[in-house]
Amino acid sequence: MDIAFGPVPSRRLGRSLGINNIPPKHCSYACVYCQVGPTPEEEISPRPSYRPEEILRQVRMRLEAVRAHGDAVDYLTFVPDGEPTLDSRLGESIDALRELGLPIAVISNASLLWYADVRSALRRADWVSVKVDSVVPGVWERINRPHGVLRLADILGGIQRFASEFAGRLVSETMLVAGLNDGDEDIAALGRFIATTRIGRAYLAIPHRPPAVAGVRGPDEAVVLRAFRTLADKGLEVELLTAYEGDVFAFGGDLRVEILAISAVHPLRTSAIQALLDKGGGSMALVDALLASGELRRLEHEGEVFYLRRLHREG
């Protein structure tokens, strides 16, 4: 398994070297907009995944490779194709990576923050993003499609408790989906909740990549701007994640490895694939071969073509 990938251009973290710390696709949610496809079976019990020393080894090797090609890294980011806190050794892995001297980020759906052990692990990071797509139970269920044991009140309480404990930078992210969570009352309730926490910045995003459920799309510009104003009027620091992040991916030496590792968690537009091929001296023949072998799949979304690594269930 390719644990480390990138760095990829992040609209929040600059040049982010990704860490895929759990096997595909272990998650507590089956979000309608998920960019890596459906969740075969939801789970909520953290368990050991990759050994922290193996994560450190692969991240160190990745850093050496990208630096050898003149690329920089701003953050080491746990951003797997599932929920990173389902790895019961996440805190140990964060500690192991400290020797590399880079700040560490975790992008979480926040669904397990009612577990004390999960909050303890996340407190070891420097920057944490928590998903808050809705604070209305019925809307939350429709957009995030959570594991049946989960309760929104517990999750929101976990976020508030973590916010009071965490010494690093805490942000929230809300994916706006047309017709689901973009109503005026939904956004007003979201703003009221975020205003009660120590969240430093609220990000509003829209789907940019092929969703798990066909037909899912972001609201139009007027609705997004209205949501921005609603949150800003509550005194929150708000930022839109509605622009394409670009195609400036790093190259570590092996095109096949690069394409498969990045596209496992970050579907690649045709322009991004071409940029990688140009950097590595390759051609679309490699992409065609990956498509033919079933390792890669081609999807279309709102007039754009994307390439995504095909996910396989364990066993």
Model confidence at 309: pLDDT above 70? yes
Which structural domain range is residue 214 located in? 4-263
Model confidence at 11: pLDDT above 70? yes
Strand partners, 296: 309
Look at residue 279 and tell me if it is in a domain.
no
- Torsion, Cα of 311, 72, 66, 80 (10° steps): -20
Given this model, what pLDDT does residue 314 score? 35
What SS3 state is found at 194? helix
Look at residue 290 and tell me if it is in a domain.
no
Query: Up-side HSE of residue 1: CA atoms within 13 Å toward CB?
Result: 20
Confidence of residue 304 (pLDDT cuts 50, 70, 90): confident
Confidence of residue 53 (pLDDT cuts 50, 70, 90): very high
Look at residue 252 and tell me if it is in a domain.
yes
Contacting residues for 233 by C-beta, under 8 A, at least 6 apart: 191
pLDDT in tens, 186-198: 999 999 999 999 8
Q: What is the DSSP code (8-state) at residue 143?
A: H
Look at residue 13 and tell me if it is in a domain.
yes
Confidence of residue 210 (pLDDT cuts 50, 70, 90): confident
Look at residue 296 and tell me if it is in a domain.
no
Look at residue 315 and tell me if it is in a domain.
no
Closest listed residue to residue 209, CA positions, set 85, 297, 293, 277: 297
- Looking at the structure of the chain, the number of domains it has is 1
Look at residue 240 and tell me if it is in a domain.
yes
What phi and psi, each to the nearest 5 degrees, are found at residue 161? -65, -45
Domain of 90, CATH number, reads 3.20.20.70
pLDDT in tens, 82-121: 999 999 999 999 999 999 999 999 999 999 999 999 999 9
Look at residue 78 and tell me if it is in a domain.
yes
Angle formed by the axes of helices 270-280 and 284-293, to 10°?
Answer: 120
